[in-house]
A and B are shown apart, each in its own frame.
Chain A
Amino acid sequence: MYSDEASVRALLEKVLHYSQAEQTEVVFNGTEGSLTRFATNHIHQNVAESNHELRVRAVVGKRVGVASTNRLDDESLRKVAEQALEIARIQPENPEFHSLPVARPITAAHGFSERTAQFTPEERARRVNTIVQLARARGLESAGAFSTTLHHEAVANSLGIFAYEPRTDAECHAVVMADDAGSGYTQRMFTNADLLDFEAMAQEAVTKAERSRNPIDIELGEYPVVLDAYAVADMLQHLIYMGLSATAVQEERSFMNGQFGKQLVDPKITFYDDGHELAGLPKAFDYEGVPKQRVNMFERGVANAVVYDSFTAAREGKPNTGHALPAPNSEGPLPTHSFLEAGNATLEELIRGVDHGIYVTRFHYTNSVHPVKTLLTGMTRDGTFLIEHGELTRPVKNLRFTQSILDVLRDVPAIGRDRVQYIDYLTVVAPAIQAARFNFTGITGA
């Protein structure tokens, strides 16, 4: 049911036909998702979901209403179309609303894998077991999750847009824990589940867990750091929320305000969003059916651009970059497929470049302290080490940091060559970096 272009097109056209609004948009997201979760070296949660959501945006003049449902019988489709219209009619005009977007050519993205779509519960269990068995064999404790998801996404509107694409993703992450407060981490995400190398992932987490036993205290303060890819991507995810949306700029609450065209960070930093790059999870169009454009947000360290949807683009007279989220949302458009351009250093070379500093595997529970100052706090986790004379020496207890992200990016002596696709709320593909200064402000209690 609704697992091919023809059936989805028929469904969306039916809703457009039912709608009496001046303009109508229908967004469809069908999901077949499965997730196998493990902890204390066994599978403890194992779930599957089949869902089909339909969202209708109705426009009457400058009034907009949205209603959604996951009931797809004819009566429910008529009802959701009527409800969106009723909501639109009853509210005041939004003088800044212009129009739903018109159709533009869409270049297909390659974000689907038949293999991922067909992955079975038994296959997931066996893959997970690779990590569990290595942890068990070394006397360690493993925990994590492996998910495989198939999406059927489509957008149609009464101005002629119809866009459809099937997409898949497969993601696994794991924490491996030793006694004496040591732990290690691994995470990978691809369109094709077969690309996840579970042997390598298990080795990565187990090796770091064994090496991080008996961590020491250090004096708090500012250190040169090597931030591994997981930590860099987490930091960049927060930077996106802090101000890389046109809405944030238009509301004058972005760190980009007044900075366009200026050298904002280190010239080695190019940070961009690209729905078509194969290193990410390719996606051809946004939630308005507009083709996704590559946007260089930082280009060789210069504050270059933010991303737009139809509303923010019309408001400013700028091109729509195809970064709309489902309506309505106060966040505005967001870069959801972003990449930090790789450098050419290996991780070992990044570490060799630091005489006395800290290596951080990843962050935990990061949160904005002050968005305009890009001030972020959080903890280090799953492998924090002292760097002495260019080598990782002793493990360090988890540290709290309170640090401006832009200040970190202003002085980046080197960037790693290998990138990892990270997902939390957004997907970010990033390499490790060496940064000249990072402010550690607290340490884990006993």
Chain B
Amino acid sequence: MRDIAIRAINAAQQFGASYVDVRVMERTTEGIEVRNGRVEGVSSSASIGFNVRVLVNGAWGFASSDRMELAEAERIAQLAVQIARASALVAGDPVRLSPLSPQKGTYRTPMQLDPFLVPLQQKVQLLLDADAAMRSVKGVTLSSAMMEYSREHKYFASSEGSEIEQELYDTGAAISASAVDAQSNEIQTRSYPNSFGRQAGTVGYEFIEAMELVEHGARVGEEAVQLLTAPQCPSGIKTIILDGPQVGLQVHESCGHPIELDRVLGYEAGFVGKSFLTTDKFNNNYRYGSEYINITADATIPGALGTFGWDDEGVPAQRTPIVTRGIFNGYLTSRDTAPLIGLASNGSVRADGWNRLPMIRMTNVSLEPGSWKLTDLIADTDDGIYMSINKSWSIDDRRLNFQFGVEMAYEIKNGKPGRLYKNATYTGITPQFWGSCDAVCGPDEWAVWGTPNCGKGEPMQVMRTGHGAAPARFRNVQVGVGRWS
């Protein structure tokens, strides 16, 4: 890996680059999915290659290849320089990078059990057993159990003298059961520990063992079947309590994305949009949420999915305050965006593979724990709705108007759980919504929820991010949207 990187850096400099960095990356992934009692698929994939990013006359160029040869390193370096010169044909202000001392070191994800070393049969059997537990419930018509784990070995070097080697692992799994009633066009699904992909972290196989997927199988199946005949969630302005996974996704969509400084500056406007958290609001006493809202971006949380040693520009992992007692005071930044608002990069840049440009991505953007216990929070709520695990999400191009649907809800009456509801949705405007939060549960109920499928950029990149969250309560929220009959 090092030979390729050094050869590419030297070549790019000879062709005229003022700054060069190279990432050589090999990612190996194994995935297992069991569906309806049979093995749907077991697959293994490996992808290796390198990329060269250059600055020429203040403009960026980037090229990548899967041919791990020294001659190819020179060809790709030359192509990157050619592309940078083409960028200069439609130039903006020259790119400036925030200062960074040469970084040297290694990092490896700490873990107990390498998921690649656990026998495949054992992993398949675990999923088959969990699937069987769900299907033991009468009325379950569709069941799924999956796991996926990856190893990413990467080497970073730059013309400023940085050389970093990292080996990152991520491991995750989930189960889900669905019940269908064709007569009423109804389908209800329940997932554990999370929906849409899986719950994942930078951890080993011990993370999956601790999930106790088999033990949760029957409950997941029963809840799906119960939801099928549950009444429709009523509409109205309500008090809601969101569970940890849903708070995690709410943070991801309505805080994590709008604090990406490249998005704020308009770099994503042609695709997913901009951000309402414009630079005039930064460190200017802008109220993002209530006094109970403290949000951080922290790439050092042990085991969290957005944890690493250095980002893909060679900046060390770090913790950054984003919202403090409701006041907005931080962005996720890169070396080329941070100087534009007078800052240095806070190490938030990653690429999802050797063939993708590194860009600002969420690390672990978390709502810090409060002090409530969930049982006390429910007991303290006279009239409300508890909502659990996401099944639908959408947010506008400035990250203001959002709408979420959840798998399961139940009413809270006089401090006690009541009827089960299906098809619950809620909608709101980001700062008003966070401003309506009057309680966040404490450290005992706080966990980091992995989002393994965050899309951004063109060509599209899928990144792994983490979101610490605990159940939280919100007042005066619009619940129940759309026509369901």
Q: Which residues of A contact B (CB under 8 A)?
A: 1, 33-53, 64-71, 80, 83-84, 87, 90-92, 94-96, 120-122, 124-126, 128-129, 132, 141-145, 147, 173-175, 177, 251-253, 255, 257-258, 327-330, 364-373, 375, 377-379, 381, 398, 400, 402-404, 439, 441-445
Asked whether, in the complex, the Cβ of B89 is within 8 Å of the Cβ of A69, the reply is: no
Q: Which residue of A lies closest to B186 (CB)?
A: A372
Asked whether, in the complex, the Cβ of A439 is within 8 Å of the Cβ of B142, the reply is: no
Known pairs A46-B61, A52-B66, A69-B45; A367 contacts B393 (CB<8 A)? yes
Describe B's contact surface by its main secondary structure.
mixed
Assembled-state Cα–Cα distance A87/B120 (Å): 8
Asked whether, in the complex, the Cβ of A252 is within 8 Å of the Cβ of B182, the reply is: yes
Describe A's contact surface by its main secondary structure.
strand
Can you pick out 22 interface pairs between chain A and chain B where the beta carbons lie within 8 Å of each other?
A35-B458, A38-B90, A43-B86, A49-B63, A53-B47, A67-B44, A87-B43, A87-B44, A87-B120, A90-B120, A143-B271, A145-B270, A255-B185, A364-B273, A364-B396, A367-B394, A370-B187, A372-B185, A398-B401, A400-B403, A403-B482, A444-B401
B400 in contact (CB, < 8 A):
yes
Determine which of B66, B85, B269, B403 lies in contact with A143 in the assembled complex, contact meaning CB atoms within 8 Å.
B269
1/0 per residue, CB under 8 A from A, across B348-376: the answer is 00000001110100000000000000000
Most buried by B among A34, A91, A129: A91
Asked whether, in the complex, the Cβ of B482 is within 8 Å of the Cβ of A369, the reply is: yes
Asked whether, in the complex, the Cβ of B269 is within 8 Å of the Cβ of A375, the reply is: no
Asked whether, in the complex, the Cβ of B92 is within 8 Å of the Cβ of A41, the reply is: yes
User: Closest CB-CB distance, B369 to chain A, in whole Å?
Assistant: 28
Known pairs A65-B42, A445-B430; A252 contacts B87 (CB<8 A)? no
User: Closest CB-CB distance, A149 to chain B, in whole Å?
Assistant: 9
Asked whether, in the complex, the Cβ of A379 is within 8 Å of the Cβ of B394, the reply is: yes
List B55-81 residues whose CB lies under 8 Å from chain A: 59-68, 76, 79-80
Question: Which 3 A-B pairs give the minimum distances between C-beta atoms?
Answer: A328-B41, A42-B92, A402-B482
Assembled-state Cα–Cα distance A17/B350 (Å): 39
Contacts of A69 in B (CB 8 A): 45-47
User: Closest CB-CB distance, A61 to chain B, in whole Å?
Assistant: 13
Contacts of A443 in B (CB 8 A): 401
Asked whether, in the complex, the Cβ of B42 is within 8 Å of the Cβ of A91, the reply is: yes
Asked whether, in the complex, the Cβ of B43 is within 8 Å of the Cβ of A67, the reply is: yes
B82 in contact (CB, < 8 A):
yes
B409 in contact (CB, < 8 A):
no
1/0 per residue, CB under 8 A from A, across B255-275: the answer is 000000000011111111100
Asked whether, in the complex, the Cβ of A39 is within 8 Å of the Cβ of B79, the reply is: no
B444 in contact (CB, < 8 A):
no
A365-B394, A369-B425, A442-B403 are known contacts; what are 14 more A-B pairs with Cβ within 8 Å?
A: A38-B270, A39-B266, A40-B92, A46-B83, A49-B65, A70-B46, A90-B42, A94-B38, A121-B83, A175-B269, A330-B144, A364-B396, A398-B397, A402-B403
User: Closest CB-CB distance, A201 to chain B, in whole Å?
Assistant: 12
Contacts of B270 in A (CB 8 A): 37-39, 142-145, 173-175
Known pairs A67-B45, A442-B481; A47 contacts B187 (CB<8 A)? no
Assembled-state Cα–Cα distance A71/B65 (Å): 11
Asked whether, in the complex, the Cβ of B482 is within 8 Å of the Cβ of A51, the reply is: no
Assembled-state Cα–Cα distance A370/B186 (Å): 9
User: Closest CB-CB distance, B30 to chain A, in whole Å?
Assistant: 9
Q: Which residue of B lies closest to A124 (CB)?
A: B86
Assembled-state Cα–Cα distance A103/B81 (Å): 45
Assembled-state Cα–Cα distance A441/B402 (Å): 11
Total interface residues on B, CB under 8 Å, equals 88
Assembled-state Cα–Cα distance A145/B121 (Å): 45
Most buried by B among A177, A329, A377: A377
Contacts of A365 in B (CB 8 A): 272, 394-397
B224 in contact (CB, < 8 A):
no
Contacts of B120 in A (CB 8 A): 87, 90-91
List B3-49 residues whose CB lies under 8 Å from chain A: 33, 35-36, 38-49
Asked whether, in the complex, the Cβ of B355 is within 8 Å of the Cβ of A51, the reply is: yes
Determine which of A67, A70, A125, A258 lies in contact with B90 in the assembled complex, contact meaning CB atoms within 8 Å.
A125
Determine which of A45, A80, A398 lies in contact with B357 in the assembled complex, contact meaning CB atoms within 8 Å.
A45
Determine which of A65, A125, A251, A327 lies in contact with B87 in the assembled complex, contact meaning CB atoms within 8 Å.
A125
Asked whether, in the complex, the Cβ of A258 is within 8 Å of the Cβ of B182, the reply is: yes
Known pairs A44-B60, A70-B49, A70-B66; A36 contacts B42 (CB<8 A)? no
B97 in contact (CB, < 8 A):
no
Asked whether, in the complex, the Cβ of B265 is within 8 Å of the Cβ of A40, the reply is: yes
Q: Which residue of B lies closest to A80 (CB)?
A: B46
Contacts of B90 in A (CB 8 A): 38, 41-43, 125, 128-129, 132
Asked whether, in the complex, the Cβ of B459 is within 8 Å of the Cβ of A147, the reply is: yes
Asked whether, in the complex, the Cβ of B401 is within 8 Å of the Cβ of A442, the reply is: yes
1/0 per residue, CB under 8 A from A, across B458-469: the answer is 110000000000
Assembled-state Cα–Cα distance A368/B429 (Å): 20
Asked whether, in the complex, the Cβ of A92 is within 8 Å of the Cβ of B83, the reply is: no
B230 in contact (CB, < 8 A):
no
Contacts of B398 in A (CB 8 A): 444
Asked whether, in the complex, the Cβ of A364 is within 8 Å of the Cβ of B397, the reply is: yes
B124 in contact (CB, < 8 A):
yes
Determine which of B40, B128, B180, B427 lies in contact with A328 in the assembled complex, contact meaning CB atoms within 8 Å.
B40
Q: Which residue of A lies closest to B64 (CB)?
A: A49
Assembled-state Cα–Cα distance A439/B38 (Å): 41
Asked whether, in the complex, the Cβ of B42 is within 8 Å of the Cβ of A87, the reply is: yes
Contacts of B186 in A (CB 8 A): 372
B343 in contact (CB, < 8 A):
no
Contacts of A251 in B (CB 8 A): 36, 141-142
Q: Which residue of A lies closest to B485 (CB)?
A: A373
User: Closest CB-CB distance, B175 to chain A, in whole Å?
Assistant: 13
User: Closest CB-CB distance, B189 to chain A, in whole Å?
Assistant: 9
Assembled-state Cα–Cα distance A355/B394 (Å): 30
Contacts of A369 in B (CB 8 A): 392, 405, 425, 482
Q: Which residue of A lies closest to B455 (CB)?
A: A425
Asked whether, in the complex, the Cβ of B128 is within 8 Å of the Cβ of A92, the reply is: yes
Contacts of B392 in A (CB 8 A): 367-370, 377
User: Closest CB-CB distance, B376 to chain A, in whole Å?
Assistant: 32
1/0 per residue, CB under 8 A from A, across B231-268: the answer is 00000000000000000000000000000000001111
Asked whether, in the complex, the Cβ of B45 is within 8 Å of the Cβ of A68, the reply is: yes
Asked whether, in the complex, the Cβ of B178 is within 8 Å of the Cβ of A44, the reply is: no
Asked whether, in the complex, the Cβ of B397 is within 8 Å of the Cβ of A45, the reply is: no
Assembled-state Cα–Cα distance A84/B82 (Å): 40
Known pairs A68-B45, A69-B45, A70-B48; A444 contacts B400 (CB<8 A)? yes
1/0 per residue, CB under 8 A from A, across B400-413: the answer is 11010100000000
Asked whether, in the complex, the Cβ of B41 is within 8 Å of the Cβ of A329, the reply is: yes
Assembled-state Cα–Cα distance A26/B35 (Å): 24
Contacts of B138 in A (CB 8 A): none
User: Closest CB-CB distance, B398 to chain A, in whole Å?
Assistant: 7
User: Closest CB-CB distance, B451 to chain A, in whole Å?
Assistant: 15
